[in-house]
Each structure stands twice: as structure tokens, then as C-alpha cells.
Amino acid sequence: MSDGKTVGIVLVSHSATVAASVAELAKGLAGAGTAVPVAPAGGTESGGLGTSAELVSAAAASVDRGAGVAVLADLGSAVLTVKALLAEGDELPEHTRLVDAPFVEGAVAAVVTAAAGADLAAVEAAASEAYTYRKT
């Protein structure tokens, strides 16, 4: 468990609407209210479809509470944007991780786990484990 600080969650999508909606869904289903800092980083600065390194960086900074930041991304170039920021070394808060997880299910699992006070490794594991959720 953590030292009282909460892991932040960033949801990177090609669509601002999708990122914001998944953030709202995850927080609502987790019952986390405002306890878990969750920030959407969707679309481009001009409101179009795509990804923006600047929006991702700003979202990560906004949710950083000192316990790490878990970043989930929807599709290929969103993943590449986050990887590029991580490679820069100083564009994202310390202890920021790109989490390999399904976007919606992983976001819910990450927020629920962070709300329970778990550390970054546990949040990452819970989100990644969402790949095993079966629907049949």
C-alpha cells in the first residue's frame, strides 16, 4: 500500500470526448469521486482527433500527488506519444508509467485500485489484469 499519497491516472485517447467519458465512467464506477486524481488527455489542442504531447504532459502534471502516475492509452499513436515523452526523461512527473491495459476496463481497475490506497505497481498490475476479464 501507499504512504498516504494517491496514484494519479491519465487517460490518453485520440478523442477528447472518449478520454473525458472514460475518466467519468471510471470515477463513477469506482465511487472515487474526487479522491483519485484522474485526467483525460484526448485529441489535439485544436479539438481535433489525434494525440498531443502537450496535453498528455499537462494532464500528468495535474494528477501527480507524489505516488506516481499511471498512463493508459487507447491506440497506437497515443502509445507512441507517451513513449516519446517517457524517453525525453523530463516531460512527465517522476514515476510515470505507461500501463499496458485495455482502455476502459483498465481505467476502471486502475481507479478502483488507486482509490483503495494502492501503490503504483499495484495500480499497474490491476489495470493490466483487466486483459483477462471475460465477457462470455
Q: For 13-70, write each residue's pLDDT tens digit.
A: 999 999 999 999 999 988 866 689 999 999 999 999 999 999 999 999 999 999 999 9
For the chain, the average pLDDT equals 94
Q: Calculate what percentage of the chain has a pLDDT beyond 70.
A: 95
The pLDDT score that the predictor gives to residue 31 is 83
Q: Specify whether the CB–CB gap between 14 and 50 falls below 8 A.
A: yes
How many whole angstroms from its chain centre is CA 27? 12
Domain count, the chain: 1
Q: How many CA atoms lie within 13 Å of 53's alpha carbon, on the beta-carbon side?
A: 12
Within a domain: 114: no
Within a domain: 6: no
Range of the domain at 28: 11-38+96-109
Q: What is the mean pLDDT of residues 9-14?
A: 98
The pLDDT score that the predictor gives to residue 13 is 98
Integer Cα distance of 126 and 110 in angstroms = 6
Within a domain: 61: no
Q: Is the pLDDT confidence value at 3 over 70?
A: no
Within a domain: 19: yes
Within a domain: 25: yes
Within a domain: 90: no
- DSSP string of 22-67, one letter each residue: HHHHHHHHHT-TTSS-EEEEES-TTS-SS--HHHHHHHHHHH--SS
